[in-house]
Amino acid sequence: MSISEIITIPNPLLRKISQPIENVDEEVVTLVNNLKKTLYFHKNCVGIAAVQTGVLKRIVVTDVSQSFKEHKNNGPIVMINPQIVYSSGKLSSREGCLSVPDFLGQVERKKKIEVEYLDLNEKKQILKTSGFEAIAIQHEIDHLNGKIFLDRVTSLKTDLFRRKR
């Protein structure tokens, strides 16, 4: 396992749509392990998409449990080919991103979501979640679709903030 380099804006790969995984082979398992190691290497990171490491594959790893212990969550989750099949409500929060290192933005997302995905055993899973975990998953799935949180900021003038270092 190794820590992967994170690509940042304006790298054009961040605007590409990631390709579905056909089968979970050794290459996919290695990629997932590298994503996990990279996720935990970056302090306060709660999610990562394969594209952020320059790999256009539909894989997301999230874990909000370390940053938001007081909120109900599912701990570490590996999602292959995730797809949001249901959503409801609205929730606004300030988001950051490893691929947009200098800024935070106020973004509105769905409060509750239901996601279908494959696990590492190629078994179909359905996850129902809400709150911060739902926000993190939506953020990472956006990456798979060539979007970054800046695309969801209503006003760059009032809803974008320079990150304090």
Say how far apart CA 43 and CA 76 lie, in whole Å: 15
SS3 39: helix
Structure tokens at 122: 């190629």
Query: Using one digit for the tens of pLDDT, what is the confidence trace for 67-104?
Result: 766 667 888 999 999 999 999 999 999 999 999 999 99
- What is the pLDDT, as a whole number, of residue 156? 79
Q: Is 140 a catalytic residue?
A: yes
- What is the pLDDT, as a whole number, of residue 68? 62
- What is the pLDDT, as a whole number, of residue 100? 96
Domains in the chain, ordered, with CATH?
Answer: 12-162 (3.90.45.10)
- Does the N-terminal peptide bond of residue 10 adopt cis geometry, omega within 30 degrees of 0? yes
- What is the pLDDT, as a whole number, of residue 155? 84
- State the distance between the two ends of the chain, measured CA to CA, in whole angstroms: 29
- What is the pLDDT, as a whole number, of residue 74? 86
- What is the pLDDT, as a whole number, of residue 72? 75
Q: CA 43, 39, 117 angle in degrees (round to 5)?
A: 140
- What is the pLDDT, as a whole number, of residue 88? 98
Say how far apart CA 163 and CA 141 lie, in whole Å: 23
- What is the pLDDT, as a whole number, of residue 67? 72
Where the chain has pLDDT below 50, the residues are none
Instruction: Write the CA distances from 17 to 44, 55, 124, 132, 163, integer angstroms.
Output: 26, 11, 22, 24, 27
- What is the pLDDT, as a whole number, of residue 32? 98
List for the chain the helix, strand, coil content (%; round to 5).
Answer: 25, 35, 40
- What is the pLDDT, as a whole number, of residue 69? 60
Residue 99: count of CB within 10 angstroms of its CB: 21
